[in-house]
Amino acid sequence: MNYGFIIDNRKCIGCHACTVACKAEHDVPLGVNRTWVKYIEKGAFPDARRFFSVLRCNHCDDAPCVTICPVTALFTREDGIVDFDSNRCIGCKACIQGCPYDALYIDPDRNTAAKCNFCAHRIEKRLEPPCAVVCPEHAIIAGDMDDPATEIAHLLRREAVQVRKPEKGTLPKVFYIGGDTASLSPSAAPPRYDYISSQGREPGVTPRGPARPLPIIGGNGGAATGVLSDEMWDRVRAVMGEKADRAGRVYDAGQTHQDSWGWKVSAYLWTKSIAAGLLILAPLLGGWGAGVDQGGARLASIILSLVFLTATGALLVSDLKKPSRFLWVLTRPQWRSWLTRGSYILLGFGLTALGMIAALLLDLPALWDLLAIPAILFGAGGAVYTAFLFWQAKGRDLWQSPLLPVHLLVQALVAGGAVLLMLRLFATDPHARLPVAGLPLEIWLRGALLVNAAMILMELLAIHQTADAGAAARWVRTGLRGHALVWGVFMAGHALPFILLAVPGSAATTAAAFLTLAGLALYEHLYVRAGQSVPLS
């Protein structure tokens, strides 16, 4: 068995009966939907046309939500239905980031993930889902695609069908007959703001007075004009042909998952970078081996590494919707998820750091030498694993960058070096040049800043693999975010520290370290928000 849906757009009248039936069947709270209808309009009066699209979970054969879930709260049944178990969910919201179709949400009553589950309880009794039963035009067809006698199998053999975002490789099982590309591709039909039902707000902003429209992503600085820029229309025509009409979204009661991962995730990336950088650099301070501790610098570096590791864990737990279940990541692991793998990496990180502290306090040079290489490996793993987690978030194209693992490692080295500069204030000789792998710390950090700035430029200015990734990068470069990037990240967070590190004196180096850490924190926040800035439905 292999269950799927067909949505016949030739018949859909946009009546929302499917949405209402779904809400009634599952007692879905207000503000969230398992099934919803999007309206778009193309052309201009008197030649305007309206199109309807029913959107929901695609029950993918290769479902990224199942892969990224750390506790097997989402799973694929033998009949192909992607189901979920709210009793296992920890509310990490990773599945929301993993789904390219905006199908998952956090249930505001239960604080767990939820989505269309094909009404599996009815399927088991050989009943159709209520959305298919209630549709007055028979525009929703559900059934076993492997059974050649079913209506859905007949339609799949006879009709030309489309799926949403086939390039993601998820093998979705919601098929559209007569589907319009502008309707199925979110970026091809931006909101038209002359309709009350389509007015949007910029993510994370609480409006005062009338709703502020979302800026159109891409082209000409992202002006909120209600239509796509000429640059973006060239891209739409490349897909739809020269006769493409300008399309606009006029009704969408679907999900709003921009910024599902907010400031706590940005802060977690920052604290984890500091912790990882300090653990990596500790064995390199003053040269390799278990020689004399550099004025307590090694011990202080590892202790601070543990402090920031603890802060990282606290941020991760506090961001869960079910924080009381946080240990389930370790006790009920789903090993394909990089949230699970990362949790074990951080556990090894902490144990290794504790062992190195014991080696220094108890004067056990053999133990120090034994743990030095694992410390570097766990530090690098702690810095880099988030890149693989972001790669599993297939809904966020910007985060799929192949540069991300290297960039996160460089960020960790920059953050660790900046904190070591601050630590030097408390050393016996604060003017001593603390060597890292044979280089004075200031020279080493200046080189790391140059590499980090170059990698940020490559992340945001390079030719991106998809239009959505490019749109997310442009989102960072426009408006107030662009000013924050230029003046906050590059000038205050990189250029000014680079200059100050050449100025003798502890005041200049301390200011350089502080600005470096502030610039990294700002960039992490912009990067996390940018990945979520492009609509998925």
What integer pLDDT is reported at residue 345 of this predicted model? 97
Decide if 242 is inside a domain.
no
Beta-carbon contacts of 202 under 8 Å, excluding residues fewer than 6 positions away, are 212, 214, 215
Backbone region of residue 221 per phi and psi (left: phi > 0; alpha: psi in -120 to 50; beta: other values): left
Residues 387 and 479 in one domain: yes
In order of 221, 272, 286, 359, 364, the CA distances from 370 in angstroms are 54, 24, 17, 10, 10
SS (H, E, C) 353-377: HHHHHHHHHCCCHHHHHHHHHHHHH
Residues 295 and 441 in one domain: yes
Decide if 236 is inside a domain.
no
What integer pLDDT is reported at residue 294 of this predicted model? 55
What integer pLDDT is reported at residue 203 of this predicted model? 38
3-state secondary structure of 45: coil
Out of 189, 221, 243, a domain closes at: 189
Confidence at 47, pLDDT banded by 50, 70, 90: confident
The amino acid sitting at 242 is E
- How many domains are contained in the chain? 2
What integer pLDDT is reported at residue 365 of this predicted model? 87
pLDDT in tens, 200-250: 444 333 333 333 333 333 333 333 333 444 555 455 445 444 444 567 777
Residues 160 and 287 in one domain: no
Confidence at 457, pLDDT banded by 50, 70, 90: very high
Decide if 72 is inside a domain.
yes
The mean pLDDT value of the chain amounts to: 86
Q: CA gyration radius for the chain?
A: 26
Query: Where do the DSSP E strands lie in 314-442?
Result: 435-436, 439-440
Decide if 38 is inside a domain.
yes
Residues 514 and 426 in one domain: yes
Confidence at 258, pLDDT banded by 50, 70, 90: low
Higher per-residue pLDDT: 106 or 188: 106
Residues 268 and 403 in one domain: yes
> In the predicted model, what is the mean pLDDT of residues 119-131?
95
Out of 141, 169, 189, a domain closes at: 189
The amino acid sitting at 74 is L
Q: Can you tell me the distance from the alpha carbon of 90 to that of 333, in angstroms, rounded to the nearest whole number? A: 12
pLDDT in tens, 259-301: 689 999 999 999 999 999 999 999 888 766 555 455 578 888 9
pLDDT in tens, 375-399: 999 999 999 999 999 999 999 999 9
Cis peptide upstream of residue 46 (ω within 30 degrees of 0): yes
Residues 489 and 382 in one domain: yes
What integer pLDDT is reported at residue 232 of this predicted model? 52
pLDDT in tens, 52-86: 999 999 999 999 999 999 999 999 999 999 999 99
Decide if 512 is inside a domain.
yes
CATH number of the domain within which 179 lies: 3.30.70.20
Q: Does residue 453 surpass a pLDDT of 70? A: yes
CATH number of the domain within which 445 lies: 1.20.1630.10
Decide if 142 is inside a domain.
yes
Decide if 357 is inside a domain.
yes
Q: Are strands 49-56 and 74-76 parallel, antiparallel or unpaired?
A: unpaired
Cα dihedral 362/364/365/371 (nearest 10)? -100
Q: How far is CA 63 from the centre of its chain?
A: 16
H or E element that contains 481: helix 479-483
Residues 396 and 493 in one domain: yes
> Domain residues for 378?
263-531
Question: Under a CB-based contact definition with an 8 Å cutoff, are residues 104 and 254 in contact?
Answer: no
Decide if 202 is inside a domain.
no
What's the whole-model pTM score? 0.87
Residues 185 and 276 in one domain: no
Residues 181 and 267 in one domain: no
Confidence at 433, pLDDT banded by 50, 70, 90: low
Higher per-residue pLDDT: 286 or 331: 331
Out of 157, 189, 221, a domain closes at: 189
Of 248, 256, 246, residue with least CA distance to 200: 256
